[in-house]
């Protein structure tokens, strides 16, 4: 070990003595030479320590000793304490220095890591990428280490280049920090598994919800089919039994036969009422929307209901002063309100309580397009409904009434009416706290707004009118025969056809009727509207009677087109022979006025 003492320069120089100056210069020159040698030794790494200060006396200041180890000791301690691996690489990839953390990550003793090449710890597939990073001298990379145990260790390496003096040359080294990503990737794997599990659970829940919805829908359809079958079986039983009894009593008991015929007709009307409710539920009934003055309508219904519900019910009609007219089918709207009031009455304990019919202008709820609406409510203070009942209350044939007291179609019909009218139905209820049924219906824009009806129900018996040659088309033989027989009874000449093609063939043969009577929905070939168009190409302006169970199958534009091409009327099933004759007489007269 070489020690250099720099504690004393020497006594002051006597400027008057040249000899003294020369000696002083010689001393300084010698000290300068020693300092240069010391610097060269430090650069070459030959000096282990430098002693600075002190005068060599017992009472003088103590010298200070500096070594490389004491100079960088804080930094060494810091590097050894961090959890990440720290390393210094030579330009050739040799590990010149590393901390214990790196050795731990590599599962290799420290003395075997220092002096090894970094590529020795890399799989072949990773060596090229790490070599490119080292050549670049700066950057980051995620890669896989091959630990001493043979295990693959995911890691992140960050490198920076550093130039170090080596004698008279600069030596290139790379300083880096290496992070073990094993725990992070394990956490990421756990997170991915948890996400996959959540995704599967969500999908299973959605699948279960779809299955539950489908199950409820099938249950509702089952109740619907059951209710239809029950009601129509009753209708068919009455019709069948009445006709059988008529056939036996016609000859000897005309009065009794007439009574059973009346029962058969009543049964047909009951069946028609059921189909009407079903069509309203299915949003396929034919609504004739027109301006309806809200206040007079509610007051009229309230007055009628007061006599029906009795004195034990307090019935109020509350219409806000600024309530506008609404746009709806007035007849259907009245039926809906009466039905809602009847439900409210049934909910009153022992038929005692209050029912309020109210109306006011309202903005659109979230479920409807923006615009102006009238909100009509029917509120009772009866027993209310539980959440379970409320959830299902508008399902078809679901009812809380005793057996035989309700069909379960009333609220379904009301909801269908509201939605088909461009509005909505909302029910609010709680057990023992009453129920409010709210209908949102669009406002009428102006006094003249209305939509004309495109159908007719049973009308008055027609007076004796014009007779003519009629082409009757229906793909149901029994219906076609009944129509033809009824028209023949009124003195018309009837030619029958089972489908559109047959009817057109008769026309192509030269047959020219005075009017066409056709069903709208026919399974074979074209429907009634298409047939009417084809017939009118051969017979321009020919009067047409269109028969249908519901006009929902016909597009409104097609109906308007048919009405614009000549006399045209829609007759809804079921209808009486008198109603059929009345409409035929009207269009025949219209045709004659137009020169048909």
9 within a domain of the structure (yes/no): no
Tell me, yes or no, whether 387 and 485 share the same domain.
no
Q: Are 379 and 435 in contact (CB under 8 A)?
A: yes
Q: What are the residues facing 313 on neighbouring strands?
A: 353
Tell me, yes or no, whether 477 and 574 share the same domain.
yes
Tell me, yes or no, whether 312 and 394 share the same domain.
yes
Give residue 163's domain range: 72-180
Question: 14 or 95: whose pLDDT is higher?
Answer: 95
Region of poorest pLDDT, from 135-144, 496-505, 542-551:
542-551
The pLDDT of residue 40: 62
Q: Are 430 and 384 in contact (CB under 8 A)?
A: yes
Tell me, yes or no, whether 107 and 94 share the same domain.
yes
Alpha-carbon distance 292 to 336, whole Å?
14
| Res. 243 pLDDT band, cuts 50 70 90 | low
226 within a domain of the structure (yes/no): yes
pTM of the model as a whole: 0.40
The mean pLDDT of 7-11, rounded to a whole number, is 46
The pLDDT of residue 327: 86
326 within a domain of the structure (yes/no): yes
Tell me, yes or no, whether 378 and 433 share the same domain.
yes
458 within a domain of the structure (yes/no): no
Q: What are the residues facing 179 on neighbouring strands?
A: 156
The pLDDT of residue 178: 92
Beta strand extents in 521-567 (DSSP E only)? 544-548
Domain end residue (candidates: 281, 298, 332): 281
Tell me, yes or no, whether 268 and 296 share the same domain.
no
The pLDDT of residue 93: 87
User: Does 473 score more than 90 pLDDT?
Assistant: yes
Tell me, yes or no, whether 273 and 295 share the same domain.
no
| Res. 7 pLDDT band, cuts 50 70 90 | very low
342 within a domain of the structure (yes/no): yes
Q: Are 52 and 66 in contact (CB under 8 A)?
A: yes
Tell me, yes or no, whether 421 and 301 share the same domain.
yes
Q: pLDDT tens for residues 159-200?
A: 988 877 666 667 788 899 999 998 888 888 899 999 999 999
Tell me, yes or no, whether 419 and 294 share the same domain.
yes
Tell me, yes or no, whether 115 and 231 share the same domain.
no
Query: CB under 8 Å to 503, separation ≥6 — which residues?
Result: 471, 473, 497, 516, 518, 531, 535
The pLDDT of residue 537: 92
Above pLDDT 90, what percent of the chain?
16
Alpha-carbon distance 122 to 157, whole Å?
12
Region of poorest pLDDT, from 46-55, 75-84, 99-108, 285-294:
46-55
The pLDDT of residue 3: 37
Q: pLDDT tens for residues 400-455?
A: 665 545 555 667 778 878 887 788 889 998 888 899 999 999 888 654 333 333 34
- Distances in Å between the Cα of 138 and the Cα atoms of 135, 145, 160, 436, 505 are 8, 19, 5, 74, 91
Alpha-carbon distance 503 to 473, whole Å?
7
What sign has the CA pseudo-torsion 240, 242, 246, 252?
positive
Q: For the domain that residue 166 is a member of, what is the CATH number?
A: 3.30.450.20
The pLDDT of residue 357: 93
Q: pLDDT tens for residues 218-229?
A: 666 656 655 565
CB atoms within 10 A of CB 492: 23
Tell me, yes or no, whether 429 and 557 share the same domain.
no
Domain tally for the chain? Answer: 5
∠ CA 74-78-81 to the nearest 5 degrees? Answer: 140
448 within a domain of the structure (yes/no): no
| Res. 324 pLDDT band, cuts 50 70 90 | very high
CA proximity to 261, closest of 276, 247, 274, 281 = 247
């Amino acid at each position: 070990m070489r020690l250099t003492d720099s504690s004393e320069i020497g006594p002051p120089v006597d400027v008057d003595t040249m000899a003294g100056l020369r000696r002083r210069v010689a001393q300084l020159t010698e000290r300068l030479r020693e300092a240069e040698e010391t610097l060269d030794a430090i650069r070459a790494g030959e000096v282990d320590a430098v002693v600075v200060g002190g005068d060599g006396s017992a009472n003088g200041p103590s010298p200070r000793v500096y070594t490389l180890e004491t100079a960088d000791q804080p930094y060494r301690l810091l590097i050894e304490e961090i959890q990440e691996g720290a390393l210094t690489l030579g330009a050739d990839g040799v590990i010149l220095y590393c901390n214990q953390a790196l050795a731990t990550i590599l599962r290799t003793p420290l003395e075997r890591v220092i002096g090894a090449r970094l590529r020795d710890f890399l799989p072949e597939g990773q060596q090229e990428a790490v070599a490119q990073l080292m050549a670049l001298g700066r950057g980051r990379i995620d890669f896989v280490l091959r630990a001493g145990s043979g295990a693959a260790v995911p890691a992140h390496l960050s490198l920076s280049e550093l130039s170090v003096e080596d004698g008279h040359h600069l030596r290139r080294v790379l300083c880096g920090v290496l992070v073990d990503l094993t725990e992070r990737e394990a956490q990421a794997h756990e997170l991915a598994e948890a996400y996959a599990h959540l995704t599967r659970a969500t999908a299973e829940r959605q699948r279960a919800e779809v299955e539950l919805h489908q199950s409820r829908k099938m249950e509702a359809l089952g109740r619907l089919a059951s209710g239809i079958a029950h009601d129509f079986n009753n209708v068919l039983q009455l019709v069948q039994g009445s006709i059988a009894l008529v056939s036996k009593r016609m000859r000897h008991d005309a009065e009794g036969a007439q009574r059973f015929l009346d029962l058969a007709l009543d049964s047909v009307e009951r069946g028609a009422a059921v189909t009407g409710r079903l069509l309203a539920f299915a949003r396929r009934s034919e609504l004739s929307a027109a301006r309806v003055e809200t206040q007079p309508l509610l007051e009229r219904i309230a007055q009628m209901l007061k006599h029906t519900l009795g004195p034990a019910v307090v019935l109020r009609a509350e219409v806000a002063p600024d309530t506008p007219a609404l746009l709806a089918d007035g007849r259907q709207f009245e039926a809906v309100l009466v039905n809602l009031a009847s439900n409210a009455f049934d909910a009153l304990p022992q038929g005692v309580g209050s029912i309020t019919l109210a109306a006011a202008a309202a903005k659109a709820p979230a479920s409807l397009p923006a615009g102006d609406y009238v909100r009509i409510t029917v509120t009772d203070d009866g027993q209310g409904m539980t959440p379970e009942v409320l959830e299902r209350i508008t399902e078809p044939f679901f009812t809380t009434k005793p057996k035989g007291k309700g069909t379960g179609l009333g609220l379904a019909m009301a909801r269908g009416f509201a939605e088909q009218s461009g509005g909505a139905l909302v029910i609010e209820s709680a057990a023992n706290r009453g129920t409010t049924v709210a209908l949102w219906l669009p406002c009428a824009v102006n006094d003249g707004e209305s939509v004309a009806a495109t159908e007719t129900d049973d009308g008055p018996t027609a007076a004796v009118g014009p007779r003519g040659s009629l082409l009757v088309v229906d793909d149901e033989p029994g219906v076609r025969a009944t129509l033809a027989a009824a028209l023949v009874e009124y003195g018309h000449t009837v030619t029958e056809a089972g489908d559109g093609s047959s009817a057109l063939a008769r026309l192509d043969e030269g047959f020219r009727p005075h009017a066409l009577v056709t069903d709208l929905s026919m399974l074979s070939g074209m429907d009634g509207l298409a047939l009417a168009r084809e017939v009118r190409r051969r017979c321009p302006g020919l009067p047409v009677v269109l028969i249908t169970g519901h006009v929902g199958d016909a597009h409104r534009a097609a109906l308007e087109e048919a009405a614009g091409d000549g006399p045209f009327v829609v007759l809804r099933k079921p209808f009486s022979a008198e109603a059929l004759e009345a409409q035929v007489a009207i269009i025949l007269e219209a045709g004659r006025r137009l020169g048909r």
